[in-house]
Amino acid sequence: MIPPYGGRPLAPLRVTDTRELQELRLEAEGLPALLLNSAAAANAVMLGAGYFSPLPGYMNIADALSVADTWHTREGLFWPVPCLNLCTAEAVAELGGAERIALRDPNRLGHPVLAVQDLAAVEELSDACLEHLARCIFGSVDREHPGVRVFSTLGSRVLSGPLRVLDGSYFEEDFPGTFRSAPQLRTALEERGWRRTVAFQTRNPMHRAHEELCKMAMQAVDADGLLIHMLLGKLKPGDIPALVRDAAIRKMVELYFPRDSAFIAGYGFDMLYAGPREAVLHAIFRQNAGCSHLIVGRDHAGVGSFYSPFEAQEVFEQHVPPGALQIEIFKADHTAWSRRLGRVVMMRDAPDHKAEDFVLLSGTRVRELLAAGEELPEEFARPEVAAILRDHYRAQNGAEAGARAAAS
């Protein structure tokens, strides 16, 4: 199986020893506490789950700037996106100069302790530095970009240092059959005897084009199996909730994939919408999980028109040093149903087609059809998948109508 990223053993920061876990929980109750924002909490979960291996904890300003400017930490580790614990000046003041703090989970009732952090430094980012980081990470400082909008609200104080993670946050509670750490995925792939595994990253339900793309990639690289690896964290408004996506994907795999050819799992991270940099981060996640290949398609990890269609593919040639990644990238074109051929094709493989020869629906148009209770074309979505999505939108519309009626 492919080795973990960085040429080192996998290094999840989650505490698994029962005695140590009990001692840390007891200690945390007496420590000054910081209520994390969701972005910092997601970083802690990913550190705990081994996806950020070999990072030892949250970065300081010097490392964050080095990653932003050079794609490397100061020690020389290739890394695409700074891993930060950002908070406000008011929150830092409440810590009273403590050197060890409890990090509380913002996404669970009662805000239980998620991790214990040793504070190596508490630093202040200038407005200019925050803007520079945003421009490097997202390629923009436009607040219309959902990643920029979130990043700009997190605060200007950087709390760096190692941490010990106590649990998997709400992901374990809400997605017990789906959430898996990197070590757990490695074990699952080994138990299946998969040496060559293709990973498919998704934050959306999978339609027929996605389904066929996965099958094309598996055949092209002679894979033993497919990991459908979905993001379970926070998304921008209007995106399909993870529970609905999970149900839809499981139904698709049950009915339309060969038995035992695909494994469905999820990871606890908030979507950045950082396009090419996030695509590289996705590759690191999947190498740490034991996958040999990652599908990178059109507009991978993008949003709106902030990135060019294939920028997330080009980044692997432009910014990833030779040998830095051992996982291989399967570069996919946009896939769609061909009316002329009666099947899904990559559009680059059908140069004789015109636009009207394809069944193409934008994400916006799909949401409009579902919200109106209309059927999705069978060439676009499997009927069983479309039914799950349609039921979700009907329930959502009903709840919104009820809320408006109550308000009036």
Contacts of 300 (CB under 8 A, 6+ apart): 201, 275, 278, 279, 282, 312, 313
DSSP designation for 208 = H
Contacts 24+ apart (CB under 8 A), 251-260: 251/382, 251/384, 251/385, 251/388, 252/206, 252/211, 252/382, 252/384, 252/385, 253/228, 255/382, 255/384, 256/211, 256/382, 257/211, 257/215, 257/226, 260/192, 260/225
Domains and CATH numbers, the chain: 5-168 (3.10.400.10), 179-267+273-397 (3.40.50.620)
Contacts of 76 (CB under 8 A, 6+ apart): none
Crossing angle, helix 311-318 and helix 275-288, to 10 degrees?
Answer: 70
d(CA 210, CA 403): 35
pLDDT for the residue 403 = 67
Beta bridge partners of 113: 104
Q: Examine the residue annotation and report whether 43 is marked as an active-site residue of this protein.
A: no
Q: Contact 74/66 with Cβ under 8 angstroms?
A: yes
The structure tokens listed for 342 are 């009666």
pLDDT for the residue 373 = 80
Per-residue DSSP letters for 20-79?
HHHHHHHHHTTS-EEE--HHHHHHHHHHHTTTTTT--EE--HHHHHHHHHHSB-TT--B-
DSSP designation for 257 = S
Backbone phi and psi for residue 183, each to the nearest 5 degrees, phi listed first: -60, -40
pLDDT for the residue 159 = 98
d(CA 215, CA 345): 11
Three-point CA angle 11, 190, 185, nearest 5°: 50
Q: Contact 370/393 with Cβ under 8 angstroms?
A: yes
Q: What is the CA radius of gyration of the chain?
A: 22
Active-site residue identified among 164, 180, 203, 390: 203
d(CA 12, CA 28): 20
> Exposure of 344 by Cβ count < 10 A (0-12 exposed, 13-18 middle, 19+ buried)?
buried
Q: Contact 83/12 with Cβ under 8 angstroms?
A: no
Which residue in the block uniquely carries the two structure tokens 């997601």?
Answer: 42
Crossing angle, helix 127-138 and helix 61-70, to 10 degrees?
Answer: 40
d(CA 165, CA 107): 15
Among the listed residues 325, 326, 311, the one whose alpha carbon sits nearest the alpha carbon of residue 277 = 311
Q: Examine the residue annotation and report whether 203 is marked as an active-site residue of this protein.
A: yes
Per-residue model confidence as pLDDT tens for the chain (408 residues): 999 999 889 999 999 999 999 999 999 999 999 999 999 999 999 999 999 999 999 999 999 999 999 999 999 999 999 999 999 999 999 999 999 999 999 999 999 999 999 999 999 999 999 999 999 999 999 999 999 999 999 999 999 999 999 999 999 999 999 999 999 999 999 999 999 999 999 998 999 999 999 999 999 999 999 999 999 999 988 888 999 999 999 999 999 999 999 999 999 999 999 999 999 999 999 999 999 999 999 999 999 999 999 999 999 999 999 999 999 999 999 898 999 999 999 999 999 999 899 998 766 778 788 888 888 889 899 999 999 999 998 887 776 666 666 766
Q: Contact 272/210 with Cβ under 8 angstroms?
A: no
Q: Contact 184/63 with Cβ under 8 angstroms?
A: no
Backbone phi and psi for residue 358, each to the nearest 5 degrees, phi listed first: -110, 150
Beta bridge partners of 225: 197
Active-site residue identified among 100, 108, 192, 204: 204
